[in-house]
Chain A
Amino acid sequence: MTRPRRSLFVKYFMTLFVAAAVPLTLGAASDAWFVYRDQCRHLNEVLQVEARSAADRIQTFIDGIGDQLGWVVQFPWTQSEDDRRRIDALRLLQQVPAIASVMLIDQAGTERVFVSRLRLNRTGRGADMSADPAVVGARAGGVWYGPVQYQHDSEPYMRIAVAGKRPAAGIVIAEINLKLIRDVIAAIKIGDTGHAFVIDGSGRLIAHPDISLVLRGGAASDEFERLKSAVRAAKGSAAITIGNDGGPVVALAVRAANVGWTVIAQQPIHEAFESTRIALWRSLALIAIGAIVASALAYWLAHRMSGPIRHLEDGVARIGMGKFDHRIAIHSGDELEQLAIRFNEMAKELAISQHKSVRINRLKQFLPPQVAELVETSNQRLLDEQRRDVVAIFGDLRGFTACSTRAEPETLMTVLREYYEAVGAVTTRHQATLIRFAGDGVMVLVNAPVACENPAHRAVRLAIDMQAAVQSLVTSWRARGYAIGFGMGLAMGPATVGAVGYEGRVDYTAIGNVVNLASRLCDTANDGQILLDPVAAGKVKDSFALVSLGKRLMKGYDDAVQIFAVARHGTAMQDHACPLQPADACHEAFACPRNPVAST
Chain B
Amino acid sequence: MVWPVAAQSQEATRPYRIFWFSTQTQPDPFLDGFRDGMRARGYVEGKNLTFELQYAPGDPEALRQAISEIKRGKIDLVVSSGPATRAMTAVREVPVLFALSGDPVELGIVKSLAQPGGNFTGSTFLSLELAGKRVELLRDIFPRLSTLIALSNTNHPGEQSEWRATREACQKLGIAPVYVPFSGPRELEAALARAANIHADALLVFPDAATMVHRASIAEFAINRRLPSMFGWSEYCEAGGLASYGANQKATYFSLATYADRILRGESPADLPVVQPTNFEFAINLGTAKLLGIDLDESAILFRANKVIE
Binding site for B on A (CB under 8 A): 87, 90-91, 93-94, 97, 116-121, 150, 152-155, 177, 179-180, 211-212, 215-217, 219
In-complex Cβ contact of B173 among A90, A120, A215 (8 A): A120
For the complex, give the distance between the alpha carbons of A116 and B137 in Å. Answer: 12
Please tell me if the beta carbons of B115 and A219 are within 8 angstroms of each other in the complex: yes
Contact flags (1/0) for B275-310 with A, using CB distance below 8 Å? 110111000000000000000000110011000000
Q: Does B273 contact A (CB under 8 A)?
A: yes
In-complex Cβ contact of B273 among A120, A177, A180, A212 (8 A): A212
For the complex, give the distance between the alpha carbons of A118 and B299 in Å. Answer: 21
For the complex, give the distance between the alpha carbons of A97 and B251 in Å. Answer: 16
For the complex, give the distance between the alpha carbons of A177 and B279 in Å. Answer: 10
Q: Does B189 contact A (CB under 8 A)?
A: no
Please tell me if the beta carbons of A152 and B114 are within 8 angstroms of each other in the complex: yes
Q: Does B75 contact A (CB under 8 A)?
A: no
For the complex, give the distance between the alpha carbons of A118 and B128 in Å. Answer: 10
CB distance from A68 to the nearest CB of B (A): 16
Please tell me if the beta carbons of A119 and B129 are within 8 angstroms of each other in the complex: yes
User: Among the interface residues A87, A90, A177, A212, which one has the most CB atoms of the partner chain B within 10 A?
Assistant: A212
Q: What would 19 A/B residue contacts be, using CB atoms closer than 8 Å?
A: A90-B304, A93-B304, A116-B133, A118-B280, A119-B129, A120-B173, A152-B112, A152-B113, A153-B113, A154-B274, A180-B278, A212-B262, A212-B271, A212-B273, A215-B273, A215-B274, A216-B271, A216-B273, A217-B273
Q: How many A-B residue pairs have CB under 8 A?
A: 68
Q: Which residue of B lies closest to A90 (CB)?
A: B304
CB distance from A480 to the nearest CB of B (A): 112
For the complex, give the distance between the alpha carbons of A121 and B304 in Å. Answer: 14
Q: Does B272 contact A (CB under 8 A)?
A: yes
Q: Does B200 contact A (CB under 8 A)?
A: no
CB distance from B172 to the nearest CB of A (A): 6
Q: Does B180 contact A (CB under 8 A)?
A: no
Contact flags (1/0) for B123-137 with A, using CB distance below 8 Å? 000100110110010
Please tell me if the beta carbons of A87 and B300 are within 8 angstroms of each other in the complex: yes
Q: Does B169 contact A (CB under 8 A)?
A: yes
Please tell me if the beta carbons of A212 and B300 are within 8 angstroms of each other in the complex: no
Cβ–Cβ < 8 Å partners of B275 in chain A? 211-212, 215
Please tell me if the beta carbons of B280 and A120 are within 8 angstroms of each other in the complex: no
Cβ–Cβ < 8 Å partners of B278 in chain A? 97, 177, 179-180
Known: A90-B304, A154-B274. 12 other contacts (CB 8 A): A93-B304, A118-B126, A118-B280, A152-B276, A154-B112, A154-B114, A154-B273, A212-B259, A215-B274, A216-B114, A216-B273, A217-B273
Cβ–Cβ < 8 Å partners of A121 in chain B? 136
Binding site for A on B (CB under 8 A): 112-115, 126, 129-130, 132-133, 136, 169, 172-173, 259, 262, 271-276, 278-280, 299-300, 303-304
Please tell me if the beta carbons of A120 and B172 are within 8 angstroms of each other in the complex: yes
Please tell me if the beta carbons of B133 and A215 are within 8 angstroms of each other in the complex: no
For the complex, give the distance between the alpha carbons of A219 and B129 in Å. Answer: 26
For the complex, give the distance between the alpha carbons of A119 and B280 in Å. Answer: 12
CB distance from A315 to the nearest CB of B (A): 58
Q: Which residue of A lies closest to B245 (CB)?
A: A117
Please tell me if the beta carbons of B169 and A120 are within 8 angstroms of each other in the complex: yes
CB distance from B297 to the nearest CB of A (A): 11
For the complex, give the distance between the alpha carbons of A363 and B132 in Å. Answer: 145
For the complex, give the distance between the alpha carbons of A121 and B115 in Å. Answer: 31
Please tell me if the beta carbons of A94 and B304 are within 8 angstroms of each other in the complex: yes
For the complex, give the distance between the alpha carbons of A125 and B254 in Å. Answer: 42
CB distance from A323 to the nearest CB of B (A): 66
For the complex, give the distance between the alpha carbons of A179 and B277 in Å. Answer: 10
CB distance from A185 to the nearest CB of B (A): 15
For the complex, give the distance between the alpha carbons of A90 and B137 in Å. Answer: 12
Please tell me if the beta carbons of A94 and B132 are within 8 angstroms of each other in the complex: no
In-complex Cβ contact of B276 among A93, A94, A155, A216 (8 A): A155
Cβ–Cβ < 8 Å partners of A153 in chain B? 112-114
Cβ–Cβ < 8 Å partners of A94 in chain B? 303-304
Please tell me if the beta carbons of A215 and B129 are within 8 angstroms of each other in the complex: no
User: Among the interface residues B114, B129, B169, B303, which one has the most CB atoms of the partner chain A within 10 A?
Assistant: B114
CB distance from B199 to the nearest CB of A (A): 25
Q: Which residue of B lies closest to A86 (CB)?
A: B300
User: Among the interface residues B169, B272, B276, B278, which one has the most CB atoms of the partner chain A within 10 A?
Assistant: B278
Q: Which residue of B lies closest to A153 (CB)?
A: B114
In-complex Cβ contact of B132 among A91, A119, A211 (8 A): A119
For the complex, give the distance between the alpha carbons of A150 and B112 in Å. Answer: 13
For the complex, give the distance between the alpha carbons of A177 and B275 in Å. Answer: 13
CB distance from B77 to the nearest CB of A (A): 16
CB distance from A117 to the nearest CB of B (A): 5
Cβ–Cβ < 8 Å partners of A177 in chain B? 278
For the complex, give the distance between the alpha carbons of A179 and B113 in Å. Answer: 15
Given known contacts A87-B299, A177-B278, A180-B278, is B130 in contact with A219 (CB within 8 Å)? no
In-complex Cβ contact of B114 among A87, A93, A117, A217 (8 A): A217
User: Among the interface residues A93, A121, A216, which one has the most CB atoms of the partner chain B within 10 A?
Assistant: A216
